[in-house]
Structures are given as C-alpha cells and as structure tokens.
Structure 1
Amino acid sequence: MSETKYTEDNIRSLDWKEHIRLRPGMYIGKLGDGSSPDDGIYILLKEVIDNSIDEFVMGSGKTIEVAIKDGVVTVRDYGRGIPLGKLVDVVSKMNTGAKYDSKAFKKSVGLNGVGTKAVNALSSHFKVQAVRDGETKFATFETGALIEESAPEASSLRKGTKVQFTPDPSIFVNYKFRSEYVEKMLWNYVYLNPGLTIMFNGEKYYSENGLKDLLSDNINGEIMHDIIHLKGEDIEIALTHAERSQSEQYYSFVNGQHTTQGGTHQSALREALVRTIRDFYGKNYDAADIRQSVICAVSVKVIEPVFESQTKTKLGSNDIGPDGPTLRTFVNDFLKNNLDNFLHRNADVAEAIQKKIVRAERERKELSGIQKLARERAKKANLHNKKLRDCKIHYTDKDERHSETTLFITEGDSASGSITKSRDVKTQAVFSLKGKPLNCYGLTKKVVYENEEFNLLQAALNIEDGLENLRYNNVVIATDADVDGMHIRLLLITFFLQFFPELVQERHLYILQTPLFRVRNKKETIYCYSEEERRAAILKLGSKPEITRFKGLGEISPDEFKHFIGEEIRLEPVLLGPGQKIEDILAFYMGKNTPERQEFIIDNLRVEKDTEENLKEV
C-alpha cells in the first residue's frame, strides 16, 4: 500500500468567510429549511437582532424594525450606530467588535462579534448601513466578499444601524421563514426587555410586565392562582400552577437567550423552589409534588456565560460572574427571600399552592403501584425493545449534531422497515406503533402507565418529569396520508397535548411530509408532494413520463426513502395558534360529536379525484 504524502502543500489556510461557509454548523448549528425553530435562517436573524437588543440594553434606541419579504430580511435599529470607520471590519473581520470590551457589553446576548460575520458569510447578499454623528456609510457584500463600500456622507437620517441580508439558497436549500417562529422569537425579546418596541412587517410587539406577560399570553388552560412575579438585579421569575395535573413547564433565558434545554440556572430554580416551599410550610413535601403542574419563566443575567453548544440552548456556567456567587446560591437566596415574603403577604396564593401539593401527593400515591409496574416493564423493554430502533446521538448529548436528533413514530412494520433501513443511525430513531393508539381524550395520566404503548413511548422520549431530559429534538409522526393515517396522527397529537403539552408548545412535534407521486423519465426523477407539483413535473419532463402514486409509506423503497428523511426532509410543525386553549381544541376534535364539528367537517371536505382521472386531464 502506497503511503500518502503529507507535505506543506497539504496545509490549507481558509480565510474567515471560507471557514464559515465550509463549516456553518460550527457557527449556527444545523442548516435546515425553516421548518424547525432552531434552523439556521432563524439563527441568522437572531444574531442581527441581538446586536440591536444590546443597543437597547445600553440605553440607546427603544424601537427595532424587522421586515421579511420574499426571503429578504431587513433589521433597522435606532441605537448609536456602528462607528463608520469600522463598519466593514465589524461585519467581516474576525476578533473585531465591541463585545470584546467587557465594560460595554458585560452581559450581552450576541456571539462575541462572530454573529454578524457568520450572517454575512452565509448570505448571498448582505448590506450594512450605519448613521452616526450626522453622517452615513454603507457596505455591500456577496457571500462575505466586499462588493462596494461607500464614502461617509452627510445625512439627516436618525442614528442607528440597518442590516439587510438574503440567506444563501445554495446553503439553505428551499428555505422559507415561518412567521410563527419569527413572532415567537420577537415576543421573547419584548418580554425580556419591557419598554422595547419591535415592529415586524407593520405589527407591533411590546410588553409592559415582562415575564408575567409571557406566562399570561402562553398559558393554555385554567390556573390555580394569580401569577407570582418577582424581580431583582440580574434575575426575574414569574410563577403559577396549572389547574389540571401536568408535568413541569419552564421558559428559561440567560442574557436574553432562550435556553430551550434549560441548564444550571433552571436546575438551581427547581431546587430553590422545593427548598423554599418546604421551609415556608414547615413540611418535608416530596419534590415531585411541589413541582407538579408548575408553569414558570426565569431570566438571569450572567457575565460571560458558558453554553453547552454553539446554538446556546443549554447553560453550563456554574457562576453568575468571576467574582459573584454560584448560580445555585444566587437563585436560592433570591427565591428564599422574595417568594417567602410574597407567600406571607398573599395567604390566598399560599393556600392554593398547598392544596395543589396535597392533591399531587394523593395522585402520586394512587399512581405509585401502576408507575412501579410500568417502569419495570419499560426497563425490561429497554433491553429488548422491539418498538424502538434507537440512534447513537441524543438531544441531551454535547455532540455538535444533537439538534438533528429525531424520533420517527410510525405505524405498521412495512413503514417502520423502510425508515429503519434508510435512516441515519447516528441521529434518527424509529418507534413502531402496533395499530391505532388509544384515544386518551378526557382520561387521567393513569392511562400513560396502564397503556404499554404510551408508557414505552414516554420512556423512549424520557419526558415523564418534563422536557429537561428529552432525548430527541424532533418528534416526527410518520403515518400514511390516508384516513387511517390521519386518524393515528390525531390520536398521537391528542396524547401529547393531553399529557405533555410543552412538547408541542416548545415546537418539538412534527408531521413527516412524504411524496404522493413519483414522476420520471429515463433521465430524471421528480418526487411530488401535491397535485400542483405533479402537474409541474409532467410539464417539465414532457412526452408522457411514468407516474407512480404512493398510497402508503410501505410502498416506498428504502433506497427512495432516504431522500425524504435526509437533507431534503419536509416537516410540517404541529403549532398552537395564538390564544388557542388546549382544552378547547381537544374538546372540539376529540370530544363527543357536535353540530359545530359536523359543520366544520362538511365545510372543509376536500374531495380528491382518483389518480387515473387526474392523469386524463394532463
């Protein structure tokens, strides 16, 4: 075997933009197409807005304008404006930026001056304009390369910075911004920065009461008591309990970053809550009973936080700063003083919380025997669980691909067989259902443990005690697009909404879109997901191409299936609309037949013609 030469010629130096374009995952996590809230296009948007937020935090610029049209993003703030002499350097030279000056940006949210450069490098078009001291200057780039730089000129425009960019379609293939994801991001910004106004495509986003508004706007059912709102220096907490029994639900933030996987600050809060409640009531209540049904938002500010991944979804720091206390001590001391004082002053809330704890204790004892049996079954099943084909990386791992982790929930052996054979064994797992799952609408959590399939699904996801240890970032329902498949989708969505609503609220649940048709000739094959795409494919290929209609996932060969669950995967997120209550949704779709639902079905009936008839039209 010949030896490969290793000489100076093998050493290659990449400039800043080449490195970012070659290894985008190092800077923004996964790429995606916009169907998931942590896809790259939203990270690009976030990095630009973060800089404007930092200006607001520093006391400059109370309004940020955001516009997205035809894939082009524009962000305009009214902060101090980038110094004109450094305009090009700030967006194109590594290790340049105000965030390296810890006095100016001690607790900033952005990526230490890397963020805007990553946006620049990963955009087909990028333009930055600054207005400062009565002058303005702009610079234009393409894929990170400077195309044009203007000279400073006098301007009557308001001071600030305007950034416009178009994500590079060769990197973000078929991308599309979903307004639901952008809106949630913008709402989080205003909740964390009371007094800030964000205008998005003409709509106004504003919050007066911070995290208290976040909870009241996102709660999906009745609550047991008024929201407790506690604010201190570098910490804010809003807290209540759901009327219905459910697992814990947290919205946690560090320096404005939504830490969807929690971290040390969230763990500190959970511990401190238990300790404070036990001390207040003078009773050694079980931690699970204290935290059951809690809905809580927490925001902390930390000097130079350390996150467990580049996308900053989980905090790893143990201290609030080089000279400060540990996060555990800081959060515990704050809650011990402020929550204790609040409960002493508000006897009705204290009484409601105690009632909730006693109820949770009773429910836990009623369930304990069933839980024990269920856990033993799940433990045995884990050793030889035929339902789960697991993957090697999980969402809780510190692997750079952790956000790609996906669990496909399939029906029947043929569908699960196709996915199992064509999946990426590192990041994609498969859970096989045996027929239709139980309709659990209106049932208690007891059914999760009594029903073997639900119990194994709960164990596979590891969500019994909340989302903190969720094993897969994406939970994908993969069923046929026929009546039975649709019914299974609805039953699974009911299961998650009924017992694990935070999985839906935190945007982890999806429907797998699979092609309805394959249109091909000898040179090219096109997979079509709709009637419109089928027509377009026939026009493109011409001269009577071969057309196949897929009636079920089992009909698609593993060789073909790998196209649909690989880089070009199409996922439809399961989203709750603003102000929609889970109880109302479940009652409408899964409750007893009502005239309203019958009317809805009749109004929304879509009669699909037989394939052969469709083919005759072309």
Structure 2
Amino acid sequence: MAENNYTEDNIRSLDWKEHIRLRPGMYIGKLGDGSSPDDGIYILIKEVVDNSIDEFVMGNGKKVEIKIKDGKVTVRDYGRGIPLGKVIDCVSQINTGGKYDSKAFKKSVGLNGVGTKAVNALSSHFMVYSVRDGEKKMAEFSKGEVLQDYPVEKTDEPNGTYVEFVPDDTVFKKFVFKLPFVEKMIWNYCYLNRGLSIYFNGQRYLSKNGLQDLLENNMDGDPLYPIIHLEGDDIELAMTHGKTYGEDYYSFVNGQHTTQGGTHQSAFREAVARVIRDFYNKNYEASDIRQSIVAAISVKVIEPVFESQTKTKLGSQEIEPNGKSMRAFVNDFLKEKLDNYLHKHPEVADILEKKIKQSEKERKELSGIRKLARERAKKASLHNKKLRDCRVHLTDVKNDRREDTTLFITEGDSASGSITKSRDVNTQAVFSLRGKPLNSYGLTKKVVYENEEFNLIQAALDIEDEMDNLRYNRIVIATDADVDGMHIRMLLMTFFLQFFPDLVKRGHVYILQTPLFRVRNKKKTIYCYSEDERRKAMAELGKNPEITRFKGLGEISPDEFANFIGEDIRLEPVILSKQNSIETILSYYMGKNTQERQEFIIDNLRVEKDEVEEKETVAEELIKEEQE
C-alpha cells in the first residue's frame, strides 16, 4: 500500500482573494440567493455602506446615495474620501484601513479591515473611486484582480467615495436583490444615525427620533401606552407593549443590527423585569412583564466581540475592555431612567401594571390545559407520524449546517411522501397536515393547546416558551398552487401571525415555489415556474418539446422533487410591509369582508387563462365554506 507523504509540497498558501473565494462563508456568512435578509448579497451591500456610515459618525458627510439596478449596486458617500495613494490597498489588502487607529474609529462598525476586500473578491465587477480636494483616483477589479489602475485626475466632484459592484454569479447562484430587505437595512441605518439622509433609488430616508421612529414604523397596531424613549452615554432605548403575543426586540451594537441578539439584548430582558418588579414592589413573573413587549436597544461598545464575522450576535461581556459588565451597564441605566419615567408618568405605570396582570391571568388560565397539551404532544412525538424530523437543528450551535435547517409543512400524504423521499435527512424535516387547519383568526392562545395539529406544530418548532429554542431556521409552507392550497397557506399564515408573529418578523417563514410546467426534449429538461418561463423554454428547446403541467405537489415524483428542494430551491419570503399591521392583514384576509377577499383569491390564483370561470367558482365556494 502506497504511503501518503506529508511534505512541504502539501502546504499551500492562499492569497487574500483566493482565501475569500474559497471560504466565502467565513467572511459574509451564508451565500443564498437573496430570499433571506441575511444572505450574502445583502452583507456585501452592508460592508460597503458601513464605511460610509463610519464617515458620517465621524462628522463627515450627511448624505449617502445607494442604487440597485439589474444586479448592480452603487454606493456614493460625501465623507473625506479614501486617501488617494491608498485606494487600491484599502479594497485589496487585508488588514489595511483606518479602523486600526482606535481613536478615530473607537466605536465603529467594521473592525477587521476585511469588509470591502470581501466585496471586491466576490464581485465579477468592482469599481472604486475616491475624490479629495479636486483630485480623483479610480480603480477597477474583477474577482479581486486589478483590471485597470487609473492615474489621478482633476475633478469638480465633491469629496467622498464611490463604490459599484456586481456580485459574482458563480458564487451567488441565481441571486435576486429583494428591495424590501434593502429598504429595512437602510431604515435601520437612519434610525441609528439621526440627521443622516440616505437616498435609495432616488427616494429619501431620514429619521428624526431614532429608535422611537423604529418602533412607531414597525409596531403592529397602536401601542398600549406612549413609547418610552430613553437615552444615555453609549445607550439608547425605546419600549412599549403591544397587543400581539410574544416579545419583539430590535437590538444594535455600534450601528450593527444584531438580528440574533446577544449579551446586550439578554441584559435588557433581565433588567426590564427586575426594574419593573422593584417599581411595583411585587414579585411578578418575568414572562408576564415581558409578554407583548416591543423594544429597541442600541449600545456603543469599544472593541466589541461578535460570535461570527457577519456580526449578528454580540458576545461581549463588557461595555469596554476591563470596564463595567454589560449586565450592570444596562441594569444601572434602566434602574435610573425607567424607574424615573414610571414615577413621573403614573398613567403609563397604571396601564403597564394592568397589562402585566392580564398576562398573569391568561397564563394561569392556560396552565391546566397547557399541561394536558404537553402530555398529548409528548405521547404523539413518540409515534408522531406527522413529523419526519432531520438530524441537525438550529439549536446545534456548533454545527456548520444549522442555518440550512428547514421544516416543510405540507398538505396530504402524497406531497409529504414526495418531499420525505427526496429531502436531505440531515437538514430537512417534513410536517404533514391532515386536511385544512382551523381558522384561528380572533381566537386566544388557548386554541393552540386545544387543537392537536397546532399543538404539534408548536411542539415541533419548540417555540412555546421563547423563540431562542426554535429548531429550524426556515419554516416553508409547501402547498399546491390551487384554491385549496392557497386557503391552507392563508390559514397557516393566520396561525403564525396571530400567535407567533416573531417567526414572520424575523424572516423564518417562506412559501415554497414549485414548477408549474416541465418542458423537455430528449437532450434537456427545463422546469418552469411561470408562463413566461414556459415560453422561453419552448423557444430554447425548439420544435415540439414535451410539456407537462403539474397541478399538485403529489404529481411530482420524489426523483424530480429533489431538484426543487435542493441547491436550486426557490423560496418566497413572507415579508410584512411597513404599511400593514398584522391586525390589518388578518382582518382583511380572514375576517368578514368576503367580496374583497374573493377578488384577492381570484387575482392571485396561478391557473391557466381558460380557467377564469373556474377560479370564480372555487373562490365563491371557499368563502361559502369558511362562513359555514
């Protein structure tokens, strides 16, 4: 047997761009196609914009312009501009940048000098220019390689930096920028940087009241009491209570949206319960105090420690090296400011206590039925035919594939059978519904425990107590594209929005897009998701291709299904728009306004043109069935 020699020839040094391209996940998290807000293409935008924000924070330039068109992103700020002699180095040499001088960028967002280098290495086209005092220096790159190094030239342009890039489609396959995700990112920059104007595709974004604006723009319905807005050195906080279930937090560190929370968010949750208990001098349960809370917290930290390069979870235990602990810092701030506020506003203190007592009452009413439901779920899970689980879960923090974990919720045995046979057993689980779920609109949480199917979904997700236990990163509703499928989709969405709105708000809920047609000849098969794609496929394959119309998921064989839930999976994220509160959405789709909803169903059913009359009939039947 030949011996494997381990010699100097086996040791390979990668240059900076090769390393980024070989291990992009280390620099920008998951790649993705744009269907999730933390996909790599959005991290690329963020890495470029962060530099412009740091300029604003340092007092340079009050305007940033961002444009996205046909997959190309451009960012122009009006800060000081990169020193002209360092333009190429700053975007192509790791550990080069202004942020190592901790005086200049004491509490900046980007700290490792990698951001724009990663964007450069992962873009098929990357161009940067800097303007300083009437002089302009420009350079062009592709995949990190310098294509053109232009000489310095005179210009009338104002100072600042311009970056344009196109993500490399060999790295980010079939990517599409979803503008609502970009818009949300831009709003967050504005809330955290009052006075900064960001122009996105020509529209201006500006915040005057910081985190107070964030809550006002993102809350479902009206707050129970006016938003409490508190500020101190290196900390800003806004909080109120709403009418929906759960706890809703927006947390930030040095302007970075920590979507997965971290030590600052945990410190706030702990401190708010302690301060409110002390204020009323009553030992209320923390869960009753925080039920329906909506809060935003932003802290500034020197040398923050994050749990990953994409900075979505803060790990710092201290506010600065060898300084006060994060817990003590947040607690001391709330102890003074929140306690003072409640003393000065007795009417708010009164509303808040009533809310806590109401949550306590509801929890006690549920405790008996909860116990029974848990026992039922436990028995069911031992022989739960509804859930075919996977091996990895989102809670497995040390597993590289935790972000890929997906739960498909399907209707009927044939569809769930196809997905089960073709899924990746490591990261994809399947939950099979029996018929149509209950319409839970307007019902209390009691129904989640009384209804076996809802109780089992809740148990499968493990979100009864808090979102941190969520077992799957993506919850994918996989129903047919017909009237029944759409109805089931709406009933499931009602359940999630009514009782677990955080699942939707945090971007965990998706709709599976499955092909409507298969177009093929002897050499090639193309799956088409729309009429337009079908026409293009027919043109590409030439004369008389074979066309199959898929009417339901159950018709697609397991072998074929593997194509739609693997690498090329098409997911449509469920995004809540700023204009519509959950209350409005639910009353519109699931309330009594039958005519409007019938029109919505008719407009949104994906069926052939010659089936218009059939659409109207099934929509009428659906409304009638719901009323009965």
TM bin, normalised by shorter chain, reads over 0.9
**1:349-364, aligned counterparts within 5 Å?**
349-364=348-363
Q: Kindly tell me: are residues 245 and 151 of structure 1, through their superposed partners in 2, closer, same or farther at Cα, counting changes over 3 Å?
A: closer
Cα deviation code 1:412-469 (max 9, x no counterpart): 2222222222222332222221221111011111001111211121122222234333
Cα deviation code 1:20-44 (max 9, x no counterpart): 1111111111111111111111010
Give, as a single letter, the amino acid of the residue that structure 1 aligns with 2:270: E
Aligned residues: 610
Alignment match, 1:420? 420
Distance 2:178 2:579 in 1: 18
> How high is the sequence identity, in percent, across the aligned residues?
73
TM-score by length of 1: 0.95
2:355 alignment partner, SS class: helix
Q: Kindly tell me: are residues 311 and 380 of structure 1, through their superposed partners in 2, closer, same or farther at Cα, counting changes over 3 Å?
A: farther
Alignment match, 1:46? 46
Tell me how far 1:17 sits from its aligned partner: 0.8
| Contact persistence 1:309–1:400 (CA under 8 A) | no
Cα deviation code 1:457-483 (max 9, x no counterpart): 112222223433322222110111122
Distance 2:402 2:92 in 1: 29
Alignment match, 2:563? 563
56-65 or 409-418: which moved more? Answer: 409-418
1:34 alignment partner, SS class: coil
**1:331-370, aligned counterparts within 5 Å?**
331-370=330-369
Cα deviation code 1:561-582 (max 9, x no counterpart): 2221122111111122221122
Alignment match, 2:463? 463
Alignment match, 2:96? 96
Tell me how far 1:14 sits from its aligned partner: 1.5
Distance 1:453 1:22 in 2: 44
Cα deviation code 1:61-110 (max 9, x no counterpart): 11111011111110001111111111111100111111222222222112
Tell me how far 1:337 sits from its aligned partner: 0.7
Q: Kindly tell me: are residues 25 and 606 of structure 1, through their superposed partners in 2, closer, same or farther at Cα, counting changes over 3 Å?
A: closer
1:27 alignment partner, SS class: helix
**1:402-441, aligned counterparts within 5 Å?**
402-441=402-441
2:562 alignment partner, SS class: helix
Distance 1:263 1:324 in 2: 18
Tell me how far 1:261 sits from its aligned partner: 1.6
Q: Kindly tell me: are residues 380 and 175 of structure 1, through their superposed partners in 2, closer, same or farther at Cα, counting changes over 3 Å?
A: same
| Contact persistence 1:124–1:168 (CA under 8 A) | yes
**1:218-233, aligned counterparts within 5 Å?**
218-233=218-233
| Contact persistence 1:47–1:111 (CA under 8 A) | no
| Contact persistence 1:395–1:471 (CA under 8 A) | yes
Give, as a single letter, the amino acid of the residue that structure 1 aligns with 2:327: R
Tell me how far 1:314 sits from its aligned partner: 1.7
Cα deviation code 1:522-564 (max 9, x no counterpart): 2111111111111211111122122222222222222222221
Q: Kindly tell me: are residues 315 and 378 of structure 1, through their superposed partners in 2, closer, same or farther at Cα, counting changes over 3 Å?
A: farther
219-228 or 373-382: which moved more? Answer: 373-382
Q: Kindly tell me: are residues 593 and 158 of structure 1, through their superposed partners in 2, closer, same or farther at Cα, counting changes over 3 Å?
A: closer
| Contact persistence 2:62–2:78 (CA under 8 A) | yes
| Contact persistence 1:308–1:398 (CA under 8 A) | no
Alignment match, 1:141? 141
Alignment match, 1:83? 83
499-508 or 68-77: which moved more? Answer: 499-508
Alignment match, 2:626? none
Tell me how far 1:603 sits from its aligned partner: 6.3
Does structure 1 residue 326 correspond to structure 2 residue 328?
no
Q: Kindly tell me: are residues 101 and 382 of structure 1, through their superposed partners in 2, closer, same or farther at Cα, counting changes over 3 Å?
A: farther
Alignment match, 2:617? none
Distance 1:548 1:596 in 2: 33
2:271 alignment partner, SS class: helix
1:538 alignment partner, SS class: helix
| Contact persistence 2:220–2:244 (CA under 8 A) | no
Alignment match, 1:477? 477
Alignment match, 2:216? 216
Alignment match, 2:277? 278
Give, as a single letter, the amino acid of the residue that structure 1 aligns with 2:208: E
Distance 1:544 1:293 in 2: 59
1:563 alignment partner, SS class: coil
Q: Kindly tell me: are residues 320 and 401 of structure 1, through their superposed partners in 2, closer, same or farther at Cα, counting changes over 3 Å?
A: farther
2:586 alignment partner, SS class: helix
Does structure 1 residue 199 correspond to structure 2 residue 237?
no
Q: Kindly tell me: are residues 559 and 12 of structure 1, through their superposed partners in 2, closer, same or farther at Cα, counting changes over 3 Å?
A: farther
1:410 alignment partner, SS class: strand
41-50 or 27-36: which moved more? Answer: 27-36
Does structure 1 residue 257 correspond to structure 2 residue 245?
no
Distance 2:468 2:299 in 1: 18
Cα deviation code 1:349-405 (max 9, x no counterpart): 000000001111111111110111122223344444332222333333243433322
| Contact persistence 2:387–2:460 (CA under 8 A) | yes
Alignment match, 2:608? 608
Tell me how far 1:344 sits from its aligned partner: 0.3
Q: Kindly tell me: are residues 135 and 254 of structure 1, through their superposed partners in 2, closer, same or farther at Cα, counting changes over 3 Å?
A: same
Give, as a single letter, the amino acid of the residue that structure 1 aligns with 2:293: V
TM-score by length of 2: 0.94
Distance 1:473 1:581 in 2: 24
Alignment match, 1:374? 373
Distance 1:63 1:411 in 2: 50
Alignment match, 2:55? 55
| Contact persistence 1:30–1:404 (CA under 8 A) | no
Distance 2:475 2:597 in 1: 28
389-398 or 337-346: which moved more? Answer: 389-398
1:564 alignment partner, SS class: coil
Distance 1:597 1:414 in 2: 29
Give, as a single letter, the amino acid of the residue that structure 1 aligns with 2:264: H
Give, as a single letter, the amino acid of the residue that structure 2 aligns with 1:341: N
| Contact persistence 2:482–2:607 (CA under 8 A) | no
Tell me how far 1:606 sits from its aligned partner: 6.8
Distance 2:312 2:407 in 1: 19
Tell me how far 1:277 sits from its aligned partner: 0.5
95-104 or 49-58: which moved more? Answer: 95-104
| Contact persistence 1:519–1:528 (CA under 8 A) | yes
| Contact persistence 1:20–1:122 (CA under 8 A) | yes
2:86 alignment partner, SS class: helix
Alignment match, 1:454? 454
